[in-house]
Amino acid sequence: MAANPDPVPAQLPEFQAEARARHLLSIGTRLTLAISLVIALGFGGMVVFYTQQQEKNILLQNERAINQVLGSINQGLQSVMLTASADAVRLFADNLKRVEEIDEIRILRPNGLEAFRDNSTIRQVNDYRDTEDFKPRPREEVNRIFATDDENLTHAIRSRQLTFFYDTQHDNPHLTFLLPIKNLARCKRCHGRDQEVLGVLEVRSDLESVREQVRQTWRQSMLVLVIAVSAVILIAAAVLRRFIVRPIRQVSHAMSRIASGDLEHRIPLIGRDELSRLAQSFNTLAQELQQRHAGFKAEHNKLATILMGADEGIVVTDGAGRIVLVNPAAESLLGKPAPRIVAEGLLQLFDAPARIESALQNAGFVGAKDIFVYRHRHLAVYASTLRRQDGGMLGHAVLIRNMTEAKRLEQSLRELSNTDALTGLANRRALDETLKQECGLALEQDRDLAVLMLDIDHFKNFNDKHGHAQGDRVLRQFALAALSCVRADLDTLCRYGGEEFTLICRDTPREGATLLAERIRACIEGMRVDGLRVTTSIGVAGLRESGATRPDELIEQADAALYAAKHGGRNRVVAAGSGT
């Protein structure tokens, strides 16, 4: 028997494999990861915001410090310029470069060239004052710091306001301040009134120290972030494990135990929270499942007893087409052991997969019936589809019933219904069916067909003078003698009724049938039954010669010829339409 007596444990390997796969990302792991991610994102956002604000504050403090230095430098420069000494101004500019925290300080002309390096300004002042108060420099230098159209330089001159910008495109990023040197009233006596801005004070500060402060701030912030996130995650993981993960694992473990068939397992109840109520509900469900399974198992055992003890063969498959049940009757009827039936599959039950597949396709809730002749047995096969209430397929069921004896009885009944009990010849019913079939084929295929009507002469005298038993013996001997003269493969002799007989001759024209009739007549004439002489009169009709189109017309033609033979003196043969 290929059956599963207890369906619960059979699901264990698949369930455990799925449980192991789910364990890789258990709910505790996923909760911990989710909470850790939220915490990390929250703290990370706070750290990033704080660090960015610190970075802005550092840059702002640096800007303010340089701005204060710039104001002091500007006041000092104006004081020096009042001395009207170009050398003193140049010396002041050179000394400014030694100021700490300042990378570079230069005084520029409005055209971007460094001032106090050539005689251009000296000549302009001397020309304006029309004197030679300022002596030209013996050696001139031209040092261009900004292009004439530099946007930052142009903006500082036009706005006459302090301008600063960050240069981060080079390997050594820096902050540059451009302070316009305005043409004040006391400066106009030397420089005239045409220019509003005499030059630009450039102060450049290296940002490496600022960047190092920013990096230090980031490092400290990240360290705080890691420590805070780690501490919170550890605390959250401990809380989750204690109050959520452990109860959920208990429920999961209980489900695995129940899935493995241990329906008596229960979850211990701890606390009064939602998980505790879940465990209580689960225990209630498990108890009810245990009771239902016990009832199901009892019904299953009853059904298995019925199926295994049934006289009909039963084969059942699941939804995937795998055979899950074979009862002993099926093994006996098919002549195969259950393992072989399971291995070969449902389509190979009778070594006729196409017929089985067709039967399964046509099978509904009621089922489809087919008759198989298999190993000298007639087997009635009922195929049906098993479905759920929603219409989904559960599998197929095949019922096999041995119809061999029934077929034998059916054949015997059919023979009895078509055979004359006295003579053993085909009776009138078989005659009508055979003649209808042969007449249709002869007309359709344009073939010859002939019918003989035979009648025992003076048969009434046998019954009246010698008794009905003697008449029955005459009928039997007459049938045997006539059968000895006909062709077994082409001719069919039937008892038409009483002492009349009919012979159907396939592929035989009227002339050939007439010769056969004469041979039968002669055989009968030479026969003796209990010393009594028997003769017969025969009427012959040919389908082609008579022009008949129906079996009854052909019978009528042969019967008319028989009537003519009777009136012509008996013991003779008369063919319809031949004049003899």
The stretch 69-80 carries a mean pLDDT of 66
Strand-pair partners of 108: 114, 200
The residue ranking higher by pLDDT, 382 or 491, is 491
199: domain CATH number is 3.30.450.20
- At residue 13, does pLDDT exceed 70? no
**Which two three-digit tokens encode residue 195?**
């220019």
The residue ranking higher by pLDDT, 304 or 327, is 327
Q: Of 191, 207, 223, which residue constitutes the final position of a domain?
A: 207
Residue 21: pLDDT band by 50, 70, 90 thresholds? very low
Which of 94-108, 264-278, 516-530 reaches the highest mean pLDDT?
516-530
pLDDT at 310: 79
Q: Are residues 295 and 354 in the same domain?
A: no
Element (H, E) at 105: strand 104-108
In a domain, 199, yes or no: yes
DSSP letter for each residue of 375-414: TTEEEEEEEEEEE-TTS-EEEEEEEEEE-HHHHHHHHHHH
CA dist., res. 150 & res. 93, Å (int):
22
pLDDT at 143: 82
Query: Which residues are CB-contacts of 65 (< 8 A; sequence separation ≥ 6)?
Result: 101
DSSP letter for each residue of 211-252: HHHHHHHHHHHHHHHHHHHHHHHHHHHHHHIIIIIHHHHHHH
Mean pLDDT of the chain: 79
DSSP, collapsed to helix, strand or coil, labels residue 36 as helix
- At residue 467, does pLDDT exceed 70? yes
pLDDT at 411: 65
Q: Are residues 300 and 366 in the same domain?
A: no
The stretch 106-115 carries a mean pLDDT of 83
In a domain, 225, yes or no: no
Q: Are residues 90 and 173 in the same domain?
A: yes
**Which two three-digit tokens encode residue 422?**
């006295």
Q: Are residues 89 and 155 in the same domain?
A: yes
- At residue 300, does pLDDT exceed 70? yes
Burial 371-397 (b: 16+ CB within 10 A, else e): ebebeebbbbbbbbbeeeeeeeeebbb
Q: Which amino acid is at 108?
A: L
In a domain, 535, yes or no: yes
Give which of 78, 71, 81 is closest to 121, Cα–Cα: 81
The residue ranking higher by pLDDT, 570 or 94, is 570
Q: Are residues 359 and 280 in the same domain?
A: no
Residue 520: pLDDT band by 50, 70, 90 thresholds? very high
Question: pLDDT tens, 37-67?
Answer: 887 787 777 777 777 777 677 667 766 766 7
Element (H, E) at 355: helix 353-361
In a domain, 15, yes or no: no
**Which two three-digit tokens encode residue 7?**
């369906």
Q: List strands edge to edge, sheet with 449-456.
A: 491-497, 500-506, 449-456, 536-542, 573-575
Q: Of 262, 286, 306, which residue constitutes the final position of a domain?
A: 306
Q: Where are the alpha helices (DSSP H) in 241-351?
A: 246-259, 274-309, 328-334, 338-344
Q: Are residues 334 and 396 in the same domain?
A: yes
User: Checking DSSP bridges between strand 197-206 and strand 174-182, what pairing results, if any?
Assistant: antiparallel
Lowest mean pLDDT among 83-87, 277-281, 467-471: 83-87
pLDDT at 558: 94
Q: Which amino acid is at 78?
A: Q
Strand-pair partners of 182: 197
In a domain, 50, yes or no: no
In a domain, 48, yes or no: no
% of the chain residues with pLDDT over 70: 78
User: Checking DSSP bridges between strand 393-402 and strand 313-317, what pairing results, if any?
Assistant: antiparallel
- At residue 553, does pLDDT exceed 80? yes
Q: Are residues 567 and 438 in the same domain?
A: yes
Q: Which amino acid is at 245?
A: V
In a domain, 186, yes or no: yes
pLDDT at 420: 87
CA dist., res. 12 & res. 44, Å (int):
45
pLDDT at 496: 92
pLDDT at 291: 81
Contact 577, 513 (CB under 8 A): no
Q: Of 157, 172, 207, which residue constitutes the final position of a domain?
A: 207
pLDDT at 446: 92
Residue 501: pLDDT band by 50, 70, 90 thresholds? very high
In total, how many domains does the chain have? 4
The parent domain of residue 283 ranges over 276-306
Q: Which amino acid is at 314?
A: I
Residue 256: pLDDT band by 50, 70, 90 thresholds? confident
pLDDT at 96: 62
Q: Are residues 438 and 499 in the same domain?
A: yes
Contact 151, 112 (CB under 8 A): no
CA dihedral 120, 124, 130, 133 (to 10 degrees): -50
DSSP, collapsed to helix, strand or coil, labels residue 61 as helix
565: domain CATH number is 3.30.70.270
The neighbour count for residue 547, using CB atoms within 10 Å, is 11
> CA dist 362 to 206, 324, 388, 389, 396, Å?
91, 22, 18, 20, 12
pLDDT at 288: 82
The residue ranking higher by pLDDT, 478 or 320, is 478
pLDDT at 375: 78
**Which two three-digit tokens encode residue 167?**
């240069």
In a domain, 227, yes or no: no
Question: pLDDT tens, 392-441?
Answer: 878 888 888 887 776 777 666 666 677 888 998 989 988 999 999 999 99
Long-range Cβ contact pairs of 71-79 (< 8 A, separation 24 or more): 73/99, 73/105, 73/201, 73/203, 74/179, 74/181, 74/201, 77/107, 77/181, 77/201, 78/184
∠ CA 352-353-358, rounded to 5°: 105
Q: Are residues 427 and 546 in the same domain?
A: yes
Q: Are residues 300 and 346 in the same domain?
A: no
Give the dihedral sign, CA 282/283/288/290.
positive
Give the dihedral sign, CA 300/303/307/309.
positive
Lowest mean pLDDT among 388-402, 434-448, 499-513: 388-402
DSSP letter for each residue of 527-572: -EETTEE--EEEEEEEHHHHT--SHHHHHHHHHHHHHHHHHTTSS-
CA dist., res. 41 & res. 45, Å (int):
6
% of the chain residues with pLDDT over 90: 23
> CA dist 105 to 86, 92, 170, 175, Å?
17, 11, 19, 12
CA dist., res. 97 & res. 105, Å (int):
5
CA dist., res. 477 & res. 87, Å (int):
168
Q: Are residues 561 and 444 in the same domain?
A: yes
Q: Are residues 487 and 523 in the same domain?
A: yes
Question: pLDDT tens, 178-231?
Answer: 888 877 776 766 776 777 787 888 887 776 666 777 778 778 878 887 888 788
